Each structure stands twice: as C-alpha cells, then as structure tokens.
Structure 1
C-alpha cells in the first residue's frame, strides 16, 4: 500500500484544512500464524523507529482490528519510508493511516473499516483530523470534529493549481511546535482566519489569483516564529515574490500553492537557489496533479 505525505492547516485553516502531497510511504503487511511481529524499515526513520508493538503503524493496525472485533495476528511489515520525519508533512498520520488500511486488507469484511471509520480511528491517535483526512481521501479536504467523532469532506482543486513543498534539513517535533500556541487568541484574529479559510476554499476551486490573500494567517504561524526561524524566513521570502507560501502543518517545511511553479524554480530536487536561506539547506517536492489518498492492494 501507499500513503501520501500531507500538509495540514494550509495557512488559515488551522486543524481543519489539509492536502495530500506528491511523496508517499510504501508498506507491505503480511499476517503470520504466530504472535510474532517483525518489521523491516528502509529510508526515513530506519535508524530510530521501533521494530515491535510500539511502532505507531502496529498500534493503529491493532486498534482497527479490535474495532471490528477481529482476531489479532502476528505481523511481518516491510516499510519504505519516503515522507520526511519531523518536518510538518504528516509522517505520523501516514503511519496511522497505513496501519488502519492494512487492517482493512487483513479482515474478512473490509467495508467494516470504511473511510469514515478510518478517519475517526486515525483522529483518536492524531488528536486532530487535518492530516489524516487527505491521507485517506487524497486531494484537499476540510475536516472537523463533533460529539460523534471526526468527519471530512473533499475539496475541489482546479487542475491548474500545483503544489511545491520546500523541506529544510532541520527538524521540529510537532509536540514542541504546538506547545508554543496560546490557549486563547483575539476575536479579531479568529474572524480574520475564518474569512481567509473560506476564501482559500474558493481559490483552490478555480481562483488562483486569490491564493496569496487566501493563505494569510493570524492564528498559529507567527506564534511559532522563534522556534522555526528558517521556515519563517523562507515563507516570507516566497510571499514577497508573490507566491502563496505557508508553513506546512507544524513546520518547518514550507508549502507553496499556485500555477506554473516551475517558472519560479520550484521543481523537484535540491533548491540550490535557496541554499543558506534562513541558515538552512532546502529541497523541493513539486506536484502537478491531484494526489490520491491511501491505496492498498490485497494479495
């Protein structure tokens, strides 16, 4: 199966808007007759991630199996991790969604783990649904919570709108990024973001000329400026060029949405033009087409 990276927030849509990006983890899961769990990891996290029941993918898979009252089993997992960790690209959400998707492929009635149920289970791990939703549904989504659980709705994206995510060499744990946010914000700032988030939904659907204004934010990015100085410098540099740049999720990657991004040197690979900007080195992942959500092949 494959599960894409995701960018949460998209600027003004804090904990609500998200988008799938053009890089994905690839996971193969086999059921074993024993209770043994074996995990092979290549790529991101190969030297640091656990290889036992504490792995986030295994925890999510177990939770999904328990949700449908199916019997637990031993597991052999082979993961090729391409989503950078600690960069605000939804790597933990991808692991959770991969585990739930794997459980769906292992049970006798896969429909018992529908996309709606998968999102609710994933949100219990993540705490917010803005990354899990596009990882499941693909494209761009708006997600919300109520007394029942988590919900999401896909958003229209005009075919001319592309994305480019600039990934720094530095990392920033999501827990640290969220810890600097205040418990309360001014009413005027909340109203500002409501308007911009609504404008962003409209801009994505076919008004790219509104993207720069639509991606302004007063709820979270400036509060995090001191702990992600390089990301803020990159974001401001790009916005000064007229590009709709935002902090991707909790950072420190920077997401750009717009047309013909290759004309602004935002093509996949090392961003040599940005070397040292903000005191960091940068690489780019440029995506032109809509990115699908988690895909699984049952063998």
Structure 2
C-alpha cells in the first residue's frame, strides 16, 4: 500500500509593527500539502488547487515545496523517492504578507524529512527554514505556532514562543494588489537614524509588555514603527486610511502584515465592523479585498500519515 504524508501549515503575520524581522504569529488559516511515494513511477508530479492554481509551478524541481523537500534530503545526505505525487491545497493568499512562502518551505522540509525517515530536530528545521527564507519571522511561528520572538546569531536561530491572549482576534484584510517581498525590501533604507532604532526598541518591548499585562488599549502604541512601515505603506493604495479606519471603529492596534499588501488589526470586539471599515476604504479606491477574522494558532505545523 502506498503511503501518503499530510502536513498542515498555518498562515503567519510578521513584524506586528515594531518587531521587524523578529516578531511573528501563526494564524488560523492553513495550507495543506500531501505527498504520496510511488515506486511504480520515476517522476514526481505536482498538482495545485486553491490559491495559485494555474500559476504556481507544476514542476517538482521548481515548485517551492518540492525544492524544500529536496533541501531537507540534501541536508540529511539522503535521497527523496524517485517517484510520487505532491498535492498542494492552498487557502492562504499569495504574495500578500501572510507567509504563503513560509508554508511551502516549512511544509516541504517536513515532508522531505518524513519520507527520509524523519530525523530532523525542531532546531534543525528552524535553521534550515531560515536559510531558505532568509529571515525567521514567518518560519518560526509556522513551525512552532503562537507568538514568536526570533533572533539570528552565527547562522543559528534562537526563538522564544509566547502565548497570545485568547481574548484577541486578528482581523486581516487582503487587497487584490500584490506587494512582492523583494519590492517591499527594496524601498527600505540601508541605514536608519539612531533615534528610529531607539524608537522601535522601546515600542516592541512595550507591545510585549502590554500583551503580558492585558493592557490591550495600549497595543496601538507598541505597534508603531519607524523602520519599515513608513516606507512600505505608500506601496499600498489606501493603506494609511484603512489603518486609521480600523482604529476609529475599535481596533486595539493595526499595521501592515509582513511586507504587505495585507493589513492586520488586533481586536477584542467589533471584528466584523473593523474588517468592513478597512474594506470600505479600499473599495473607495476601486480595490477589491478579502477579509478574515482569525485567532492565533498555538500548535503550528503538524504532520500525519493518511491511509
């Protein structure tokens, strides 16, 4: 009987304002990937359904999940099965700042490890995922779940997972226009004033302290940023007004999710109204959106076998 492995990987939001390339949180919307080894064939086929259907590569060697599977096998000095089928069921919008590429990397690494006898530790998985992604802020919560704080030291990732209050919801509004990560990074300055660094150091600490103290009305101050949001927000038509609209109807804080174009607002109540207020701003610019009211996923990546 052919064996099928199934991985489910959560969406993630990175930065949460001031925590640039360090803070990340897993969200309750998921991509599912399935791999079935087949010794009767000598190629691995790929099908994609949902987000990216018809646009993501069906070539295993070029598909990001397939590349991550091979990356895991290479790191273990072993080989993947020569034949099989990879199926991706994508629900997370692509190139919108919700960690779709991280799901492919983490999911592919987990599948590649599983089909080669599953020996990678969580630390090894985190290190490999960061090498592929370039930074840990999305891959860490995708692997671990929860709210994560990550740093990189001598090519090793150190990460702390924190619980995220159940009372808080994440309202995400996804404009139809993409902001590719490469473009969002290109607009960032190579140097920033010392005052901006001091500003962000204080804000990220204050954000985490406000969560710990359950002082949710203070979150908006901890989510303010001077390192990336001022440079990226102009790339999102209507973005500034949409964030202001979210705060006006009760959001406890609002910012860009990752590099955008998705916006995220933290709420204790009025989540549908917050989503509607942000969507209305984009609609005034004739920009279509999709909205999701989510919670923090505390479990992170999970893998199982399917008979």
- What do residues 14-35 of structure 1 show as CA deviations (whole Å, max 9, x unaligned)? 0000111121111111123244
Q: Secondary structure at the match of 1:296?
A: strand
1:96 aligns with 2:105: yes
Q: Distance in 2 between matches of 1:59 and 1:261?
A: 42
Match of 2:52 among 45, 52, 67: 45
Q: Does 1:216 align with 2:224?
A: yes
Does the 8 Å contact 2:243/2:278 carry over to 1? no
1:107 aligns with 116
Q: What secondary structure does 1:201 align onto? A: helix
Does residue 19 in structure 1 map to residue 13 in structure 2?
no
TM-score (norm 1): 0.92
User: Is residue 2:175 matched to residue 1:168?
Assistant: yes
Structure-2 separation of matches of 1:49 and 1:265: 32
Taking structure 1 as reference, are residues 42 and 222 closer, same or farther at Cα in structure 2, changes over 3 Å only?
same
| In structure 2, distance between residues paired with 1:246 and 1:72 | 41
2 CA distance for matches of 1:284 and 1:7?
14
- The answer to whether 1:10 aligns with 2:19 is no
Shift of 1:158: 1.8
Rounded to whole Å, the distance in 1 between the matches of 2:65 and 2:227 is: 31
What is aligned with 1:251? 260
Cα separation, 2, equivalents of 1:220 and 1:226: 11
Q: Which residue of the other structure, out of 79, 92, 111, is the alignment partner of 1:83?
A: 92
Aligned length: 295
Q: CA deviation at 1:104?
A: 2.7
User: What TM-score, normalized by structure 2, do the two folds share?
Assistant: 0.90
| Structure 1 residue 227, shift from structure 2 partner | 1.8
* CA contact 1:233–1:277 (8 Å) conserved in 2: no
What's the offset of the Cα at 1:54?
0.6
Listed as ranges, the matches of 1:280-291 within 5 Å are 280-288=287-295, 290-291=297-298
Gaps of 5+ in 2: 1-6
| Conservation of the 8 A alpha-carbon contact between 2:171 and 2:275 | yes
